[in-house]
Amino acid sequence: MMMLSDESLPSGSGVQPTSPGDRCRLFRRSDGPPLSFVLWCLVVGLAMFIPSGFIAVAQDAAATQPAAAAADSDADKADSKPTAVPPATTDGQTDLDEAMIRRIDAETPKQLQAVITLLESALAKGLSEESQAFAKKMVGSIRLERAQGIVAELTQGGGVRARQLRSEALQALRSAIESDAGLVEAHLLIARLNLLPEGDLEEARRSAGRAVELLVKDPKAQSNAYLVRALCQAEEEARKADFDLAVQADPTSSEARQARALNRLRTEDVAGAVEDFTVVFKQDPTNQAVAQVIVEQLVSLGRTDDALKLLGEAIEASPSEGLHRLRGLIYRAEGKEDEALAEFGKALELQPKDAISLLQRAEISLGRGDVKAAKGDLEQAIRVEPRVADSVAAVRVRCYIAVEEGRLADAINDMSLIVQASSDDPFWKLQLANLYVQDKRPRKAIELTSEILQADPDNTSALRTRADTLLGLGEHADAIRDYERAIDLGVDNPLLRSGILNNLAWVLATSTQDGLRSGTRAVQFGKEAAELTEFKEPHILSTLAAAYAESGDFDEAVKWSGKAVELAKELGNEQLEQLEEELQSFKDKKPWREKQETEENKAPLLPPEDLIDT
């Protein structure tokens, strides 16, 4: 929401006097010569209330004041020249003069109201055309000042009086405009106040529109007025048009560019938003907040190279741990772990207490099997910023450390905490389900995946996890149903698809339940799985061999089973012994049969408060 302004009345908002002498001789003291009110106002800092062009006239008048005084004296002595009678329309001049004197020291609402009362009296009694315009502007400026004071109280909290304060401010502003329709600040403040909850958007649009009209000769100020009006628009096209006009009025305005960029993001015009943010960044390469927004949006568009280039420019202009950390995150997402580690290291050189970089580095270390380094970074992150201990990032690292150390119960408790903190994210529920499977608690895994599928029946990852778990329990029919459902939905990820196809082919080829096996379909799915993995995975070649054996083609079964054994030996695969048994079975012209029956882990899980301190 646009911040409320406390801008004062702009100078030069009045009208020019009709003659140099009239205004300069507003006051005469009984004990001295005439006093120029304009020069007096300049001294005490009240030039804001002087009509435009009047200062120059007053200075000319002041320079010739002695001559003017002499002329007055001669005029008084000349009997042949009758004294002019003031017109009846200037009866209020005395009240106007008194109002201007009181205005100098008026500060409280009561004092300001007294000045307004005098000005209204002057207007009622009658003033010259010029003085009348000046008095009205003065009334308007005082009411604007009063409204700004109320708004200042409102922006400081307002409390239970917030609604009343806004109402009072709006009333004062409307009265100000009645006296002086050209008060731009009043129009804009009316618009901004109506942008608050329960405001009148129609009045907001009218007021902002009037401000736009009044500022036609001041493009920079008009740009800001367009921004206010854009926020008042109910229609998307009108809002977009006003943001465009704001940028057109002042193409150098970073405020206009950022406002339009944010609106473009809101309407999913990410490319347009990036364009505006980039202009802002070029104006100020040290603006790290803008740089971060641009980078994040570029990454979302798949323009990672552009994001890294811009980050490089930002770091060169103003290095910071935040920018190095952001570049590290991008490198890590790109799988460039060495580059990511270097960036996190630079971030920590600039800010040793950068807990996020420490945790990121810990996760990379875990991926490389360096548990000791990961534990060191985790402990350091918590030491420099104790509050991070309960963050999802820290608990996640702690969980992964527990997995690496074989403490599955601790890992399950930690992952349960993450699930509680991210209850709407099925990814973490799947992670927890996989941990249940690893800890031989398949029923809990099935319960959790079923919960995910109840909310999202098309979640292929959940279908695959539940199917694998059912397969491990020997519930082949239900496992086949989930695998087939996942394939029917379509799986684009090659790794996930090959896994589903392989496991489906395996159960179709090796199930102990005669009515479930199908050699033909097993070969079909086994071939596709092998192709997706470029025939480089021993267990998938083993599945293809079992499929051929089930279909009665033992020559092909021996061929692919032999390849699986050879590849397993090269890779040091832990399943080598079983693969050799399968090969012998196929040589004996016997198809392979398998029914897994996982034994449920009955050991109770420790509660989170009893977790082992890592």
* Interval 73-94 mean pLDDT: 54
CATH of the domain at 589: 1.25.40.10
Q: What pLDDT was estimated at residue 89?
A: 62
Classify residue 138: in a domain, yes or no. Answer: yes
Classify residue 204: in a domain, yes or no. Answer: no
Angstrom distance (rounded) from CA 516 to CA 180: 89
Instruction: Identify the domain boundary among 173, 199, 225.
Output: 199
pTM: 0.61
Q: Work out the angle at residue 482's Cα, subtended by the Cα atoms of residues 478 and 488, and round it to the nearest 5 degrees.
A: 140
H-type helices in 78-128, by residue range? 93-105, 109-125
Classify residue 303: in a domain, yes or no. Answer: no
Report whether pLDDT(420) > 80.
yes
**What's the token pair of residue 218?**
């001041």
pLDDT averaged over the chain? 84
Structural domain boundaries enclosing 542: 497-598
Q: What pLDDT was estimated at residue 71?
A: 40
pLDDT, tens digit, 9 for 90 and up, residues 9-21: 233 333 333 333 3
pLDDT, tens digit, 9 for 90 and up, residues 472-514: 999 999 999 999 999 999 988 999 999 999 999 999 999 999 9
CB contact at 8 A, 169 and 150: yes
Q: What pLDDT was estimated at residue 42?
A: 34
pLDDT, tens digit, 9 for 90 and up, residues 570-586: 999 899 999 999 999 99
The three-class DSSP label of residue 481 is helix
Q: How many CB atoms lie within 10 A of CB 36?
A: 19
* Interval 539-564 mean pLDDT: 97
| Number of compact structural domains in the chain | 2
Q: What pLDDT was estimated at residue 156?
A: 79
Q: What pLDDT was estimated at residue 559?
A: 97
pLDDT, tens digit, 9 for 90 and up, residues 257-298: 999 999 998 888 988 989 999 899 888 888 888 888 888 888
Q: What pLDDT was estimated at residue 91?
A: 87
Q: What pLDDT was estimated at residue 301?
A: 85
Q: What pLDDT was estimated at residue 422?
A: 87
> What values do phi and psi take at 28, rounded to 5?
-130, 130
Angstrom distance (rounded) from CA 598 to CA 441: 9
Angstrom distance (rounded) from CA 251 to CA 220: 9
pLDDT band at 609 (very low <50, low <70, confident <90, very high): low
The three-class DSSP label of residue 34 is strand
Classify residue 546: in a domain, yes or no. Answer: yes
Q: What pLDDT was estimated at residue 411?
A: 95
pLDDT, tens digit, 9 for 90 and up, residues 424-476: 899 999 999 999 999 999 999 999 999 999 999 999 999 999 999 999 999 99
Classify residue 220: in a domain, yes or no. Answer: no
* Interval 348-372 mean pLDDT: 95
Higher model confidence: residue 385 or residue 23?
385
Classify residue 289: in a domain, yes or no. Answer: no
Please state whether 268 falls in left (phi above 0), alpha (psi between -120 and 50) or beta.
left
Instruction: Identify the domain boundary among 172, 199, 226.
Output: 199
Classify residue 515: in a domain, yes or no. Answer: yes
Classify residue 142: in a domain, yes or no. Answer: yes
- Name the nearest CA neighbour of 123 among 132, 112, 113: 132
Q: What pLDDT was estimated at residue 52?
A: 34
Q: Which of 53-67, 90-104, 555-569, 591-605 has the highest mean pLDDT?
A: 555-569
Q: What pLDDT was estimated at residue 62?
A: 37
Distances in whole angstroms, Cα of residue 572 to Cα of each of 538, 564, 567 = 11, 12, 8
**What's the token pair of residue 265?**
């993001």
Q: What pLDDT was estimated at residue 503?
A: 97
Q: What pLDDT was estimated at residue 58?
A: 35
Q: What pLDDT was estimated at residue 606?
A: 66
pLDDT band at 610 (very low <50, low <70, confident <90, very high): low
* Interval 133-162 mean pLDDT: 87
Quick one: 151 exposed, middle or buried, by C-beta within 10 A (0-12, 13-18, 19+)?
buried
